[in-house]
Structure 1
Amino acid sequence: MIGLDSQARIWLCTEPTDMRKSFRGLSALVRNQLNHDPLSGQYFVFINRRKTQMKMLYFSRTGYCLWAKRLERGQFQVRPSASGQRALTLADLQLLIDGIEVEKSRQFKRFSAA
Structure 2
Amino acid sequence: MIGLDSQARIWLCTEPTDMRKSFRGLSALVRNQLKHDPLSGQYFVFVNRRKTQMKMLYFTATGYCLWAKRLEQGQFRVPLSASGQRALTLTDLQLLIDGIEVQKYRQFKRFRGV
| Per-residue deviation, 1:52 | 0.1
Task: Report the Cα distance in structure 1 between the residues aligned to 2:113 and 2:44, rounded to whole angstroms.
Answer: 29
Q: Which moved more, 1:37-46 or 1:96-105?
A: 96-105
Unmatched 5+ stretches in structure 1 = none
Task: Report the Cα distance in structure 2 between the residues aligned to 1:113 and 1:18, rounded to whole angstroms.
Answer: 46
Identity of aligned residues (%): 88
Query: CA offsets, 1:68-89, max 9 Å, x none?
Result: 0000000000122100001000
Q: Which moved more, 1:44-53 or 1:74-83?
A: 74-83
| Per-residue deviation, 1:107 | 2.7
Secondary structure at 2:25's aligned position in 1?
helix
Q: CA RMSD in A?
A: 1.3
Unmatched 5+ stretches in structure 2 = none
Query: CA offsets, 1:5-64, max 9 Å, x none?
Result: 111000000000000000000000000100000000000000000000000000000000
Task: Report the Cα distance in structure 1 between the residues aligned to 2:45 and 2:23, rounded to whole angstroms.
Answer: 13
The one-letter amino acid paired with 1:42 is Q
For residue 31 of structure 1, what is the aligned residue in structure 2?
31
Runs of 4+ in 1 over 6 A off after TM superposition: none
Secondary structure at 1:29's aligned position in 2?
helix
TM-score normalised per structure 1: 0.94
Task: Report the Cα distance in structure 2 between the residues aligned to 1:76 and 1:44, rounded to whole angstroms.
Answer: 16
TM-score normalised per structure 2: 0.94
The one-letter amino acid paired with 1:78 is V
| Per-residue deviation, 1:109 | 4.4
Counterparts in 2 of 1:83-94, with a 5 A limit? 83-94=83-94
